[in-house]
Amino acid sequence: MSRFPSYDGTNIEFRRLGAGRPLVCLPGGPGRAAEYLGGLAGSRQLIMPDTRGTGASANAADPATYRCDRLVQDVEALRSHLGLETIDLLGHSAAGDLAELYAAAYPERLDHLVLLTPALRAVGMEMSDEEQRAAMERRSGEPWCAGAMAAVEKADAGDDSAETRYGYMPFFYGRWDQGAQAHARVGISERSRAVRAGYAADGAFHPEATRAALDKLAAPTLIYVGELDIGPTADLAARAARLFPHCEVVMQPGAAHFPWLDDPAWFAAAINSFLG
């Protein structure tokens, strides 16, 4: 682990994994420690920061800095700390929003942008309840589906317990095997409740302004989705791709929200092909 003080003095910890040109990988959740990204395969050195308030990073003195748009400055502070003029950036899941906001604020600092099974709230694109329910029903033949749907109902009713969150996690994996069950607990901590609460707080997202800024983005962009994911679906990714001037969409067959676990070789080949 390495550490650096961010713009306001908050200590941010990050991991380095592998060798080669750096790929900065932002973890999702929000509030999940970056260790769950450790299985990302490829020919790059992975730089994986823990979001402030999660993992090995320090808590923020000001909880307002957990807001997604404020976290952009932590990403920029990391780039500066690494001594890189430009970066390749990957944002997974909820961190798709963070990567989109960074791209809008610092387009000149990006060589490539990878939005990996991303949230798209920052650009004003979210799945409707009906679309998400339809995506869940595609897994109705799975033996775990009834229990996972019951957990979804509890969550919709306001139950934010760790047990309930774990209960619906099968929807996020192409295979709910022992490896997936273990992975679903990696990087999870009740400590991150403040981050989850503050990430999308009022003022975090201004989609029209973000879309206008991204319309001028020169960096090649990849939106990567899993065929079985419940969000984003391939259809939503295709619509979102129109917001980026140089964007392609890849859908990995048989994969869900963590596609590198479902077929590591397929995932690595696709990512390496895009990054070059």
Convert the pLDDT of each residue in 100-145 to its tens digit.
999 999 999 999 999 999 999 999 999 998 999 999 999 999 999 9
Six-digit token string for 58: 């320090």
**Residue 86 clears pLDDT 80, i.e. is over it:** yes
Residue by residue, what is the 3-state secondary structure of 65-114?
A: HHCHHHHHHHHHHHHHHHCCCCEEEEEECCHHHHHHHHHHHCHHHEEEEE
Q: Mean pLDDT over residues 270-275, rounded?
A: 95
Cis peptide before 30 (omega within 30 of 0): yes
- Between CA 190 and CA 276 the distance in angstroms is 38
Convert the pLDDT of each residue in 14-54 to its tens digit.
999 999 999 999 999 999 999 999 888 677 999 999 999 99
Residues 6+ apart with CB under 8 A from 205: 68, 69, 97, 101, 121, 122, 124
Sheet containing 11-17: give its strands across.
2-5, 11-17, 45-49, 22-26, 87-92, 110-116, 221-226, 247-252
Looking at residue 42, its pLDDT comes to 72
Beta strands in the chain (DSSP E): 2-5, 11-17, 22-26, 45-49, 87-92, 110-116, 221-226, 247-252
Convert the pLDDT of each residue in 215-265 to its tens digit.
999 999 999 999 999 999 999 999 999 999 999 999 999 999 999 999 999
Looking at residue 276, its pLDDT comes to 87
* Cβ–Cβ < 8 Å for 94, 28: yes
Convert the pLDDT of each residue in 196-210 to its tens digit.
999 999 999 999 999
- The amino acid that residue 201 corresponds to is A
The three-point CA angle 179-183-185 to 5° equals 135
Looking at residue 57, its pLDDT comes to 98
- Between CA 274 and CA 42 the distance in angstroms is 11
Convert the pLDDT of each residue in 147-185 to its tens digit.
999 999 999 999 999 999 999 999 999 999 999 999 999
pTM for this entry: 0.97
Residue at token pair 């932002």: 26
Length of the chain in terms of residues written: 276
Six-digit token string for 238: 């295709």
Q: What is the DSSP letter of 2?
A: E
- Between CA 226 and CA 173 the distance in angstroms is 9
Q: What SS3 class is residue 123?
A: helix
- Between CA 62 and CA 120 the distance in angstroms is 26
- Between CA 72 and CA 131 the distance in angstroms is 30
Confidence grade of residue 11 (pLDDT, cut at 50, 70, 90): very high
The three-point CA angle 166-171-175 to 5° equals 100
Task: Tell me the domain boundaries of the chain.
Answer: 2-128+188-275
User: Average per-residue pLDDT in the chain?
Assistant: 96
- At the second CATH level, the architecture of 2-128+188-275 is 3-Layer(aba) Sandwich (3.40)
Torsional sign, CA 125, 203, 47, 169: negative
Six-digit token string for 47: 């730089």
Q: What is the DSSP letter of 60?
A: P
Q: What SS3 class is residue 29?
A: coil
Convert the pLDDT of each residue in 54-76 to its tens digit.
999 999 999 999 999 999 999 99
